[in-house]
Amino acid sequence: MQIASYSFRIRSHSADQFHEFPHKCFFLDAALLVGRVVISALGIVARCVRAFESDEVRAKRAERNKKKEFRSLAQKISSYGQGVHQRYPTGDVIVSERDLAQEFRKRPDVVITALNLLLDEQKVQRAPLSGYWKLNV
C-alpha cells in the first residue's frame, strides 16, 4: 500500500504587502464609483435631450421607428412564407391577414401595412379572397 505524500509551500507575506491591500481595495471601489457616476450622467443627458427635443424631431424619430418596425415585420413575413414553402414545397403559400397578426402578435393594420410593403417589392400578391395573400417564394 502506497501512502500519498503532499507538500505545501508556505508563502510568507511581508508587512508591506498587508498594508498595500486596503489601498488597492480603495482604488478599485473609487474606480467603480466613478464608472457608475459617468454611466448615470450619460443616462440623464440622454433623457434630457429627448425631453427637450422639438415636436418635429420627435415625430420624425417616431416615423423612422414605425418604418423600421414595418420593414422588420415584412422580413419576418417573408421568412415565414419561405419556411412554410420548405415544409410544403408542392403548393402556393396563402396566408390570411388575421393569422399573420396572431402569429407575430401584431395588430392587423400593422400586418397589412407590412404586406403592402412586400406587395410593392412584388414578394406577395393579393389572393382572390378578401383578407388573404399569396406569398411569392
Per-residue model confidence as pLDDT tens digits over 89-102: 888 899 999 999 99
Pair 83, 136 in one domain: yes
Per the structure block, which three cell numbers stand in for 56? 418635429
Q: For residue 55, what pLDDT is reported?
A: 82
> How many domains in the chain?
2
Per-residue model confidence as pLDDT tens digits over 79-126: 999 999 999 888 889 999 999 999 999 999 999 999 999 999 999 999
State pTM to two decimals. Answer: 0.62
Task: Provide the domain limits for residue 100.
Answer: 62-137
Per-residue model confidence as pLDDT tens digits over 43-53: 888 888 777 77
Q: For residue 79, what pLDDT is reported?
A: 93
Pair 89, 126 in one domain: yes
- Interior CA angle at 111 toward 65 and 114, to 5°? 60
Give buried/exposed letters for 39-73 (b at 16+ CB in 10 A, else e): eeeeeeeeeeeeeeeeeeeeeeeeeeeeeeebeeb
- How far is the CA of 36 from the CAs of 42, 48, 72, 130, in angstroms? 10, 18, 34, 56
Distance between CA atoms of residues 1 and 29, nearest Å? 53
> What mean pLDDT comes out for the span 64-78?
94
The CATH number covering residue 70 comes to 1.10.10.10
Pair 85, 128 in one domain: yes
Residue 5: inside a domain, yes or no? no
Q: For residue 123, what pLDDT is reported?
A: 92
User: 35 falls in which pLDDT band (50, 70, 90)?
Assistant: confident
